[in-house]
């Protein structure tokens, strides 16, 4: 199994350095709105929740892309976006069950695991983000986390 990005929201301090590191690496600018990771902040509950692509095995974003701009990288296991094929239809954004693909400024953005060396992990000093073997985090735990994320996303939309 390939490595996965593991998120421990209990360790997140909402410093948002992951967002800055991501936008700098991918776009050459410190612009959190362009980041491929998003820290959702629930102030009343003092809960911070980093949201990032799960690189789903069934990849609904890939299935709905009409131009085949999204594909799975065999080396990293990440779903990768070939920007030159993207027609900006936003179907990937709609198809993502966790709301982590974003289309802004005429460009789709999603986590591609930085080619196997996620920048966000390197800058997460509290250890809320880790990049490790998918074998160390069982499927049941990933699904429970994904379900929690999906519930929070629906709550935020309400």
Q: What is the pLDDT of residues 37-52, one digit of tens each?
A: 999 888 887 778 888 9
Owning domain of residue 63: 3-157
> Residue 130 and residue 17: Cα distance in Å, rounded?
14
pLDDT of residue 139: 64
Which residue bears the tokens 């990032």?
52
Task: Say what the pLDDT of residue 141 is.
Answer: 67
- The pair of structure tokens assigned to 99 is 């709301």
Span 111-128, pLDDT tens digits: 999 999 999 999 999 999
| pLDDT surpassing 90 at residue 15 | yes
Direct distance between the N- and C-terminal alpha carbons of the chain, in angstroms, rounded to an integer: 37
Residue 105 is part of a domain; what is its CATH number? 3.30.70.20
| pTM (2 d.p.) | 0.81
Q: How far is CA 139 from CA 2, 36, 51, 116, 119, in A?
A: 13, 23, 18, 20, 24
Q: Give the model confidence (pLDDT) of 62-111 as tens digits.
A: 999 999 999 999 888 899 999 999 999 999 999 998 889 988 877 889 99
Asked if 65 and 92 touch (Cβ cutoff 8 Å), the reply is yes
With contact defined as beta carbons under 8 Å apart, do 95 and 64 qualify? yes
Give the separation between CA 102 and CA 110, rounded to whole angstroms. 7
The total domain count for the chain is 1
Asked if 114 and 16 count as a contact pair (C-beta separation under 8 A), the reply is no
What 3-state class would DSSP assign to 105? Answer: coil
**pLDDT for 153:** 72
């Amino acid at each position: 199994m390939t490595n996965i990005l593991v998120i421990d929201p209990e360790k997140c301090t909402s410093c948002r350095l992951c967002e800055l590191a991501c936008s700098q690496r991918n776009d050459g600018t410190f612009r959190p709105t362009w980041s491929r990771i998003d820290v959702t902040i629930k102030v009343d509950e003092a809960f911070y929740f980093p949201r990032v692509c799960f690189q789903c095995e069934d990849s609904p974003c890939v299935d709905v892309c009409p131009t085949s701009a999204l594909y799975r990288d065999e080396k990293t296991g990440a779903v990768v976006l070939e920007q030159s094929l993207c027609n900006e239809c936003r179907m990937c954004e709609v198809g993502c069950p966790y709301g982590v693909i974003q289309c802004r400024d005429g460009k789709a953005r999603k986590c591609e695991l930085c080619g196997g060396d996620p920048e966000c992990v390197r800058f997460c000093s509290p250890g809320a983000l880790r990049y490790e073997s998918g074998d160390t985090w069982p499927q049941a735990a990933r699904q429970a986390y994904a379900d929690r994320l999906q519930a929070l996303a629906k709550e935020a939309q309400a």
